[in-house]
């Protein structure tokens, strides 16, 4: 397994908070009724919440739009997702949501679109090493240009930069 913390901290324009306790992580899992994948648990324990390259990962935070528990509950209700997944990123493009299961597999959902398997792990997804997106169910393969668009070289600064700088004082 790649070191998810190294990968995240090496991203352009990285900003992160302090890690979370095992007690906080277990409480979040219990509230969602899921088990976080090993990499996501490591990310939460050592970083807690991160943004980089114009992207934001969910985490354990009081910021509602980035809180993994609140975002997951909201998206599961909206998209009628029954799987034991949790949201790791909201792309904020066409309703695209990136999910992870307890084994580490990364999925992409969007309204009125089939679910795609994006990567075998969070580190693979973030490093851009994912194989060509595959539909989750055995249906004809479709082209997906969303990831290309999302991963275009972003010059946007981290939206949480001022939030993180507040805690670093």
How high is the pLDDT of residue 13? 94
Angle of the 22-32 helix axis to the 68-79 helix axis, nearest 10? 10
Tell me whether residue 169 is in a domain: no
Domain count along the chain: 1
Q: Which of 11, 20, 7, 9 is nearest to 122 (CA)?
A: 7
How high is the pLDDT of residue 68? 98
Global pTM reads 0.77
Tell me whether residue 135 is in a domain: yes
List, in order, residues 6 or more apart from 89 with CB less than 8 Å away: 55, 56, 57, 58, 97, 98
Which pair of tokens denotes residue 132? 């060509």
How high is the pLDDT of residue 2? 65
Tell me whether residue 23 is in a domain: yes
Tell me whether residue 167 is in a domain: no
How high is the pLDDT of residue 76? 95
DSSP E strands: which ranges in the chain?
Answer: 15-16, 50-52, 55-56, 86-90, 97-100, 106-109, 116-119, 134-135
Which residues lie across from 107 on neighbouring strands?
Answer: 99, 117
Tell me whether residue 45 is in a domain: yes
Q: Specify the CATH number for the domain of residue 86.
A: 3.40.1580.10
Tell me whether residue 8 is in a domain: yes
How high is the pLDDT of residue 128? 83
Tell me whether residue 168 is in a domain: no
CA distance 58 to 71: 8
Tell me whether residue 20 is in a domain: yes
How high is the pLDDT of residue 160? 53
How high is the pLDDT of residue 34? 97
Residue in the structure block whose two tokens are 């991203």 = 11
Q: How many Cβ atoms sit within 10 Å of the Cβ of residue 63? A: 14
Give me the residues of the chain with pLDDT under 50, please: 1, 129-134, 137-157, 162-169
Q: Which of 61, 68, 85, 88 is nearest to 163 (CA)?
A: 61
Q: Which domain holds residue 69?
A: 4-162
């Amino acid at each position: 397994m790649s070191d998810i913390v190294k990968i995240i901290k090496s991203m352009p324009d990285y900003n992160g908070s302090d890690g979370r306790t095992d007690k906080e992580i277990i409480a979040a899992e219990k509230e969602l009724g899921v088990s976080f994948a090993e990499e996501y648990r490591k990310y939460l324990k050592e970083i807690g919440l991160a943004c980089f390259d114009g992207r934001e990962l969910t985490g354990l935070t009081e910021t509602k739009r980035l809180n993994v528990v609140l975002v997951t509950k909201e998206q599961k209700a909206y998209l009628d997702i029954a799987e034991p997944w949790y949201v790791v990123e909201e792309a904020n493009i066409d309703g695209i949501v990136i999910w992870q299961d307890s084994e580490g597999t990364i999925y992409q959902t969007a309204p009125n679109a089939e679910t795609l398997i994006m990567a075998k792990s969070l580190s693979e997804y973030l490093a851009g090493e994912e194989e060509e997106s595959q539909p989750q169910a055995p249906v004809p393969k479709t082209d997906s240009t969303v990831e290309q668009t999302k991963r275009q070289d972003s010059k946007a600064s981290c939206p949480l930069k001022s939030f993180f700088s507040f805690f670093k004082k």
